[in-house]
Amino acid sequence: MKVNIDFDGKEQSTNLTFYHDQFNTDRDYNVAISIVQTFCADFDMDPELEVEDFKEIIIKSGEKESQKFTFIIDEEGIEVDVEGNV
């Protein structure tokens, strides 16, 4: 799975950018969930993500004419950019 990982040491955050074309099977979604959970563990977070959550995110970012979406993870929580602006 292709995912861009960007660490910002100054802001103490991690951006994980996923691309729509990387999601073809439920296994792909589960791998992506594992990746997000791994980076969230650095901030003592345990997000309850499911395959359906990722499918919704892909639909929303597609509506914004984006082919990617980014999880922004920092000490304050987790956020998803569906417009591909990050």
pLDDT at res. 84? 61
pLDDT at res. 11? 86
The pair of structure tokens assigned to 54 is 């990722």
Distance of CA 82 to CAs 20, 28, 41, 42, 55, Å? 11, 18, 22, 23, 12
Whether residue 8 is contained in a domain is answered as yes
Whether residue 86 is contained in a domain is answered as no
Q: Which range marks the domain in which residue 11 is found?
A: 3-81
Whether residue 42 is contained in a domain is answered as yes
User: What is the number of domains present in the chain?
Assistant: 1
Q: pTM for the complete prediction?
A: 0.90
Cα–Cα nearest to 72, from 18, 2, 23, 1: 18
pLDDT tens per residue across all 86 residues of the chain: 899 999 998 889 999 999 999 999 999 999 999 999 999 998 999 999 999 999 999 999 988 888 999 999 999 999 999 976 65
Whether residue 74 is contained in a domain is answered as yes
